[in-house]
Structures are given as C-alpha cells and as structure tokens.
C-alpha cells in the first residue's frame, strides 16, 4: 500500500516541481497529531492575530509618543527613511498581514513558537500536499483538499514575486493555476498599474530588504499589499519585546489576561542583544550577566540558546543567521555573539531559549535503498492561518521532519515534508 501510494503522490507532482533546485523526502502518510493539539492550533490563530494587532498598535503609539519611544527606535534600526515613512502613513495604520504562519517546534511539553513569519513560503507546497493526500480518504487532513487553495484565493488577487524569492516561484505558479490568480514579477514595472484593479490586494512575495534591487518607488506606489509594506511588523524582536518587564502590563491589557498567559506558555523567553551598558549593580534577567560579552564565555552546558538576526537582512530568513549555542565550538559562539553586538546599530539580533524538539517516527521513501524506511526525527510544524472577514482560519499545516541529530528544523534534502492530519477517534 505504501509503495502504491507513493507512486500516486509522485504521479501528481507538478511538472516544474514545487521548489526551484530543492529536493525533499516524501512520506506515504501525512504527519498525524492528536486532536488535543489540533484544537490548540485552532485557538492559536486567533491569539496570534490579537498579538499582531497589539504589535501594530504598540508601534504607532511609540511613534506618537504615547508609548516608550525605544519600541519604534528598536524596530526602525537600519531601515531606509522612505520605507519607515511609508509604514507610518495614516492610511496604512489598520493594515495587517492576511497570512499568519508561526514556526512551531513540537516539544515534550507541547510546542514553542520560535518565529512568526509574515512573508511565508510553502503556501503552494502545503496546498498541493493537502490536495494530494486528502484524495486517499484515510486521514483527516487539516484544511482538507481545498482549504489552502480557497483560503489564499480569498485574501489576494495577484502574486507579486521577486527574483530573490525565485526558489518559491514553482509553487506559486502551481497555486495560481488552481485559483486563477496572476503571477507578476516584482521587477516588471509594466504590470504594476493593474495591481490596484481588484477588490483584493496583491500578495507580496518579496522581502523588504530587497527593495534596493527592485523598482521600489513604483512598488511603494501600489495602494496596498498583503502583507502590508510595514517593515516593523517583520522583526523577530517582537518576541523579545513580549518578555520585556516595562511592557508587561501593556501586553496583559492589549492581549487580555487569558491570551497573555497562553502565549507565555509557548513563546520562548527572548532577549534583544543590546550592548547598551548597564549600571554596575544590574544584570540581564534570566542570564544573570552584567555585560553581553560575558555571553560569549558561556560553557556548552549554559548555551541552550539560539542567536539570530531580527530581520531586514538577506540572512534574516531561511535559518541563514541561526546559531544554536550548544551545537557550536566555543570560538564560533564567541564570534557569533561579537557579530550580534557589532550589528546592533543597523541589524539587531535576538537571543532565545532553545527548546528541544521531541522525537517522532515517520515513514518515508528512501531514494538510496529504494524502499520505505522509518525516520526518527524532530518536527517543525507550520500552520497557515488566512485572515478572512477578521477571523484567522486554519487552512493547513506543513510538517517538516528532520533527522534527530539535526539542530535546525528547516527544509533540507534529507527532510520529510508532509501535510498534517488529525488522529481519528
């Protein structure tokens, strides 16, 4: 049955593939989660929508002097003045991303939200996986066969993608064929005048750090995108701001006590790597150090920590800047800490508690042995929420299962990519 099913999955594979020049392993089965976890994921979408609304509001209040000015100051570091000004325009204030995709590490205790991606890839891939595996009728695939397709069609008219994001062009071409959307090159100025014609905004599949390589003035003139051109919303340091003591009561009020408590369970404790000197009697909470340079001297046992750039950088996505402290030699860890401190004026970094993924077992087709094998691995789960009529709707979830000895739970040629289904019964 497994071999037959794999043959059907391979036969359904789009001719141009789903990722340019990238391979992954196929499983004959979706990744199955408990009904209890599925219910948690359903609730998580609304909580993250409330969180994003609060982030958006905090920024504008900070700019207006109604909240601490250092909030906006952190978020605007290293960004061109015209991009900052564009994001602050009054007419854009209410705009929020129409797709919410957290990166979840499944742990023994539940899950940890290690990132919140506002320009996520994998939308077309997850849609194809859902459609393909749902046809077998043996599992309750999250979102069903058309959840991702119909959800994406409901939030965007066109797909504007840059050369920088060309890896994802095949999956977006596939998606466009299912929805009737157009795929427009972000470098093609001639088509920009038509992007405002629909009642729905175009989907922005280009990173804002890439604007210098694009016709920026023309793109900024487009009346709206989803996600909106708000660079401040794309910073990972929101997860560190969430834990800052001076903002604690503000978060509680904006999120509600219930959502604030729930998010505390899942957002890893995080810090902004800010080299501003502390008074001699003060320490950084949770690290108990007075100077960030002391972090470089932590022993391997102390380094259950992850260091990564906050955003607005060509290395700010795809795990390119991620350093897992316990996995690095002392010298490399010291160098990573030093770079983070040196980058602070233009590219702030954050530090997070490392949450180890729990071990799972998933069948997969091994091209080396030409047989179905079982992988013992760890999982990054990426649920996709589409904000439709003000509600965050869960329409699919991509599971990336990597071998257990890998610290970075990210797509690679020896990773299984599978849709997520809910256990029956």
Mean pLDDT of the chain: 93
Peptide bond into 334 cis (omega under 30): no
pLDDT digits 0-9 by tens, 306-365: 999 998 877 656 667 799 999 999 999 999 999 999 999 999 999 999 999 999 999 999
144-183 per-position pLDDT tens digit: 999 999 999 999 999 999 999 999 999 999 999 999 999 9
Q: What is the pLDDT of residue 22?
A: 76
pLDDT the model gives residue 414: 87
- Site of tokens 């869960």: 394
Check whether 411 has a pLDDT greater than 70: no
For residue 105, report the phi and psi dihedrals to the nearest 5 degrees.
-100, 120
* Half-sphere exposure for 355 (CA within 13 Å, toward CB): 23
Between 178-182, 203-207, 399-403, 408-412, the lowest mean confidence (pLDDT) is in: 408-412
Bridge partners, 28 (sequence order): none
- The answer to whether the beta carbons of residues 37 and 77 sit under 8 Å apart is no
Of 24, 19, 27, nearest to 2 by C-alpha is 27
**In the prediction, which pLDDT does 195 show?**
86
Note the pLDDT of residue 316.
59
pTM for this entry: 0.95
DSSP code, position 114: E
pLDDT of residue 194: 85
The reported pLDDT for the residue numbered 172 is: 96
Locate 266 and state its tokens.
């899942």
The span from the CA of 101 to the CA of 75, in Å, is: 20
Please tell me the predicted confidence (pLDDT) of residue 310. 94
* Residue 142: predicted pLDDT: 98
Domains and CATH numbers, the chain: 2-40+100-234+357-422 (no CATH), 269-353 (3.30.1490)
Q: Among candidates 194, 149, 186, which has minimal Cα distance to 169?
A: 186
Give dist(CA 319, CA 312) in Å, integer.
14
CA-nearest of 312, 385, 390 to 348 is 312
- Tell me: pLDDT of 50 over 80: yes
Task: Name the pLDDT band for 2 (thresholds 50, 70, 90).
Answer: confident
- 375-386 pLDDT, tens digit per residue, is 999 999 999 999
Tell me what pLDDT residue 383 has: 98
**Cβ(159)–Cβ(202) under 8 Å?**
yes
């Amino acid at each position: 049955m497994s071999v037959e099913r794999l043959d059907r999955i391979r036969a359904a594979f789009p001719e141009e593939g789903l990722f340019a020049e990238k391979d992954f392993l196929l499983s004959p089965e979706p990744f199955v989660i408990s009904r209890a976890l599925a219910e948690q994921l359903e609730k998580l979408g609304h909580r993250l929508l409330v969180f994003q609304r609060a982030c958006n509001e905090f920024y504008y209040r900070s700019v207006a002097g109604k909240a601490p000015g250092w909030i906006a100051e952190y978020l605007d570091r290293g960004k061109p003045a015209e991009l900052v000004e564009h994001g602050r325009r009054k007419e854009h204030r209410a705009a929020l991303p129409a797709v919410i995709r957290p990166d979840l590490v499944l742990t023994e205790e539940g899950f940890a939200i290690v990132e919140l991606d506002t320009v996520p890839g994998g939308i077309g891939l997850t849609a194809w996986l859902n459609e393909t595996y749902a046809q077998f009728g043996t599992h309750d695939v999250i979102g069903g066969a058309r959840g991702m397709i119909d959800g994406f069609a409901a939030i965007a008219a066109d797909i504007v993608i840059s050369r920088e994001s060309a890896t994802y062009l095949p999956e977006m071409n596939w998606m466009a064929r299912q929805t009737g959307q157009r795929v427009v090159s972000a470098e093609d100025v001639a088509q920009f005048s038509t992007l405002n014609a629909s009642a729905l905004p175009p989907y922005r599949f280009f990173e804002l750090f890439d604007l210098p390589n694009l016709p920026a003035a023309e793109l900024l003139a487009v009346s709206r995108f989803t996600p909106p051109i708000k660079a401040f919303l794309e910073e990972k340091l929101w997860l560190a701001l969430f834990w800052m003591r001076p903002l604690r009561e503000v978060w509680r009020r904006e999120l509600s006590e219930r959502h604030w408590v729930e998010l505390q369970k899942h957002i890893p404790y995080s810090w902004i790597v800010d080299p501003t000197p502390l008074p001699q009697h003060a320490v950084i909470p949770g690290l108990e150090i007075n100077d960030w340079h002391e972090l470089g001297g932590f022993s391997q046992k102390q380094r259950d920590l992850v260091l990564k750039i906050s955003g607005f950088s060509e290395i700010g996505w795809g795990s390119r800047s991620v350093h897992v402290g316990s996995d690095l030699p002392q010298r490399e860890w010291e160098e990573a800490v030093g770079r983070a401190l040196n980058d602070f004026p233009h590219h702030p970094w954050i530090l997070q508690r490392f949450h180890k993924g729990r071990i799972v077992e998933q069948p997969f087709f091994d091209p080396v042995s030409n047989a179905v094998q079982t992988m013992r691995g760890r999982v990054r789960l990426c649920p996709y929420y589409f904000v439709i009529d003000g509600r965050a709707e869960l329409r699919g979830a991509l599971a990336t299962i990597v071998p257990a000895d890998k610290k970075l739970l990210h797509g690679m040629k020896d990773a299984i990519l599978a849709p997520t289904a809910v256990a029956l019964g």
